[in-house]
Structure 1
Amino acid sequence: MSDTLDALELETRPSPQWSVIWLHGLGADGHDFAPIVPELVRPHWPALRFVFPHAPVRAITINNGVRMRGWYDIASFDFADRADRTGVLESVAQVEALIEREQARGIPPERILLAGFSQGGAITLAAGLRRQVPLAGLIGLSTYLPDMAHAADHLVAGAQRQPLFMAHGQGDPVIPIVHAQQSAQALQSLGFDIEWHAYPMAHQVCAEEIDALAAWLDRRFAAAA
């Protein structure tokens, strides 16, 4: 598919049975979360393909228009109107193209997980709301739901069947935890089953969080076995 984003791919064993599409944060690229794979994966899990796409390079308004990899422009520090909606929808479409590619390679939606950190997590949540055929699960780390006030308008029937893991740093200076908590509450009110964790950290990932995510993934794999 010509419009599919370039991505780094890692397979835990040959002939993957599941795919994990993992979206990086602002200014990073697909290599950013590749080192998490050996820390996260458990020996008894099915064979996985991790797909770490590189976001397009774009001008970021709050960074004085400097161009960097980002899933959308950030035009304001106000979280109610922080995310460029056109950019969000473009990135959601690009994520859908990645999901379609995994399906073409033999991985059905019920064995595809969508994960993201920070900006990538925002796209994960936005895509999850709009997902017509549920995925195996959604993972939002140190993130928030864009355009939260209109979440119900974007919700597609059946999307709530996707289990959701969210984790955040209690001292996050980039996305204060209150915005993540409000996002989790909004999604829960729409019917999503959310596992929520908060840790004494900043805008980052910690070992305890990786362990909690591994336990959550373990349940996803076991339920599908």
Structure 2
Amino acid sequence: MKYFSKIFAVLFLAVLAIGVRAQTGNPSPDSQLHSDLSLKYLVHLPSKPTSPPPVIILLHGMGSNEQDLYSLQAAFPQKYAVVSARAPYTLAEGSYQWFQGTSVNGRLDGDPQQLAASRARIGRFIDEVVRKYGFDPHQVYLVGFSQGAILSYQVALTEPAKIKGIGIMSGAIFDSFVPLIKPSPQLSHLRIFISHGQADHRIPISYAQEADKRLEQLRLTLEFHVYPGMQHEINQAALQDLVNWLQAS
């Protein structure tokens, strides 16, 4: 099962990011790939930083790379630093994944060893990047698409002390992960944004609806947005709702 976003959506978002950058006068983002931490990454520091600044860590989908979501940083509120991480498993040149997708009893899932390894690696990466750049450890947001959204759930729900909020774009909570979700007072601060296309055939809308119900049972604070006609992608409405959610954070 592949989780690629639509080509036209990627092109649209690239154009949108260029337009927003021109309007705000932000400097060009740092395009240097860094390899000094647990994951390779790109980093964009805020033009008007607070001390210490909050940070958004972007996790891309299957078959993509750290550049895919990085263009969105121009649309995000200027107070945030933005870090875009590369998944550790190589599919082809310029193409990476967080885990090998599988099917269990007709349900989407993933290789358990790779899921656990990526979850642990992201957790280490958060500690490392916060320490290196002096980001606010109490204002760390994960924003992920597809596989990146699935890992955002897994990291935040198992290590909630590290995460302030998660932006879930076309994701799922796998059945194999459910036993690891435990009610905890540490989850009470976690803010969650969920967006999903009603016409998504790669990760059907039913997975997002199930996740919404599980999170409501944990009494977590969340927004759940469904977009008619949207497939496995990020459209303009989904991006704007995410930006509004980040702005209110």
2:101 to 66, 70, 74: 74
Q: Do the aligned partners of 1:129 and 1:156 also contact (CA within 8 Å) in 2?
A: no
1:32 to 62, 68, 85: 68
Establish whether residue 21 from structure 1 lines up as the match of residue 49 from structure 2: no
Deviations along 1:1-53, whole A, 9 cap, x unmatched?
96610011122316561111010000000000111122x224xx42x221111
1:206 to 235, 238, 243: 235
Give the structure 2 partner of residue 49 of structure 1: 81
2:45 to 2, 8, 11: 11
Unaligned runs of 5+ residues in structure 1 are 61-66, 221-225
Q: SS of the residue aligned with 1:205?
A: coil
Q: SS of the residue aligned with 2:200?
A: coil
Give the structure 1 partner of residue 5 of structure 2: none
Give the structure 2 partner of residue 223 of structure 1: none
Give the structure 2 partner of residue 106 of structure 1: 134
CA 1:145 to 1:34, structure 2 compared with 1: closer, same or farther past 3 Å?
Answer: same
Give the structure 2 partner of residue 154 of structure 1: 181
CA 1:98 to 1:170, structure 2 compared with 1: closer, same or farther past 3 Å?
Answer: same
Give the structure 2 partner of residue 89 of structure 1: 116
1:180 to 189, 202, 208: 208
Deviation at 1:55, TM superposition (A): 0.5
Give the structure 2 partner of residue 63 of structure 1: none
Distance 2:87 2:135 in 1: 23
Structure 1: which amino acid aligns with 2:224? W
Q: Do the aligned partners of 1:5 and 1:98 also contact (CA within 8 Å) in 2?
A: yes
Structure 2: which amino acid aligns with 1:203? H
Structure 1: which amino acid aligns with 2:86? H
Q: Do the aligned partners of 1:134 and 1:161 also contact (CA within 8 Å) in 2?
A: no
CA 1:78 to 1:12, structure 2 compared with 1: closer, same or farther past 3 Å?
Answer: farther
Structure 1 stretches of 4+ moved >6 Å: none
Percent identity for Structure 1 against Structure 2: 24
Alignment of 1:134-145 (within 5 A): 134-145=162-173
Give the structure-2-normalised TM-score: 0.76
Deviations along 1:179-209, whole A, 9 cap, x unmatched?
1111121122122211000112100111111
Deviation at 1:170, TM superposition (A): 0.5
Distance 1:195 1:167 in 2: 8
> Aligned Cα RMSD in Å?
2.5
Deviation at 1:151, TM superposition (A): 2.3
CA 1:79 to 1:59, structure 2 compared with 1: closer, same or farther past 3 Å?
Answer: farther
Unaligned runs of 5+ residues in structure 2 are 1-34
**Aligned residues between the structures:** 210
Q: SS of the residue aligned with 1:108?
A: coil
Give the structure-1-normalised TM-score: 0.83
